[in-house]
Amino acid sequence: MYRLYVDEVGTDHLTNLTDDKARYLSLTGVVMKISDARDVLEPAFNSIKADLFKHDPDSPLIFHRKEIMGGNGLFQKVREDAEFRSAFDARILPCFSDTPYVVITALIDKNWMIRQTHWSERHPYHWLMEILVEKYVQFLERKTSIGDIMPESRQGKDALLQSAFLAVRKRGTQFVDSDRIASKLRGEKLKFRKKSDNIAGLQLCDLVAHPSHMFVRDKMGHDVNRGPFCKQVCDILWNAKYDRSPYNGKIKGYGYKHLPDTQRAANAAPMG
């Protein structure tokens, strides 16, 4: 059985959409066998937390990109000590490359979305959830397996995401009807978990979601800046982790999809 861990980059707000920071929203899903999350990823993360950070297992350290980048708490050494940062990178990057998982990212330009006056659905979560569910169900069909979905809880936003999921599950999509969705995603409720629950799959998703968001924006022709670590993660995603066509290896439309569907080097390698 598989699980889709979900995290978002950006907000669902529909204000200040000319501001680049407010304009784009993405949902990234990390697809893993539950057994791999338990037997591979969680022990690897716990080993890093114990060996490098000497964390208290009864008050576990949570890998969270913003806290790592900000050097908060135990992550202060990652930001301030170059030698420690190198040691951390050397331990965490193999988790990205060696753990069995697949990535699917859906991104929407909200400023473009609000101008689609013929669309009946007006919330960005609907369109992003539709893409994620469609691609996840198609993945599960290829694997002849079933799965569920575990997003990180956003408290007040959980009901909106749950509603979007139920709408997609009931109506289906252009390419996957409701019966196919129900046969692969048998539960009607998303399995929301808090960051403090120390879910390894959600922590991995948190760490790859922002690099994937920036990668997809690059594909849309945007001028984005990525640091060295982000570039390394993007290379791993492109080379091995994005879902892709079983027929020709195409990534666009499988591992990522963006709205609007601009055509800039759609399946070219990531920028240097």
- pTM summary value: 0.93
Beta strands in the chain (DSSP E): 2-9, 24-33, 102-109, 147-151, 256-259
Nearest to 11 by CA among 2, 20, 23, 19: 23
CB of 178 closer than 8 Å to CB of 169? yes
Longest Cα separation, the chain: 55
The separation between CA 51 and the C-alpha centre of its own chain, rounded to angstroms, equals 27
Specify if 271 maps to a domain.
no
Q: How many CA atoms lie within 13 A of 233 on its CB side?
A: 23
Q: Is the pLDDT of residue 270 over 60?
A: no
Mutual angle of helices 82-98 and 42-53, in 10-degree steps: 170
Distance CA 242, CA 252 (A): 9
Instruction: Report the share of the chain in percent with pLDDT over 90.
Output: 76
Looking at the 3D structure of the chain, how many domains does it have?
Answer: 1
Q: Are strands 24-33 and 2-9 parallel, antiparallel or unpaired?
A: antiparallel
Specify if 29 maps to a domain.
yes
For residue 207, give its domain range. Answer: 2-259
The mean predicted confidence, pLDDT, of the chain is 91
Specify if 213 maps to a domain.
yes
Strand partners, 51: none
CB of 170 closer than 8 Å to CB of 192? no
Q: Is the pLDDT of residue 266 over 50?
A: no
pLDDT digits (tens, 9 = 90+) for 136-189: 999 999 999 999 999 999 888 899 999 999 999 999 999 999 999 999 999 999
Q: Is the pLDDT of residue 269 over 70?
A: no
Nearest to 259 by CA among 158, 114, 156, 80: 114
Give me the numbers of helices (H) and strands (E) for the chain, helices first please.
Answer: 12, 5
Q: Give the pLDDT score at 122.
A: 64
Prior bond to 260 cis, omega within 30?
Answer: yes
Specify if 197 maps to a domain.
yes
The DSSP symbol for 8 reads: E
pLDDT band at residue 263, thresholds of 50, 70 and 90? low
Instruction: Name which residue leads in pLDDT, 18 or 245.
Output: 245
CB of 11 closer than 8 Å to CB of 128? no
Instruction: Name which residue leads in pLDDT, 111 or 20.
Output: 111
pLDDT digits (tens, 9 = 90+) for 50-105: 999 998 889 999 999 999 999 999 999 999 999 999 999 999 999 999 999 999 99
Reported residue count of the chain is 272
CB of 16 closer than 8 Å to CB of 22? yes
Q: Are strands 2-9 and 102-109 parallel, antiparallel or unpaired?
A: unpaired
Specify if 82 maps to a domain.
yes
Q: Give the pLDDT score at 118.
A: 62
Specify if 246 maps to a domain.
yes
Specify if 99 maps to a domain.
yes
Specify if 269 maps to a domain.
no
Q: Give the pLDDT score at 272.
A: 42
Q: Is the pLDDT of residue 41 over 90?
A: yes
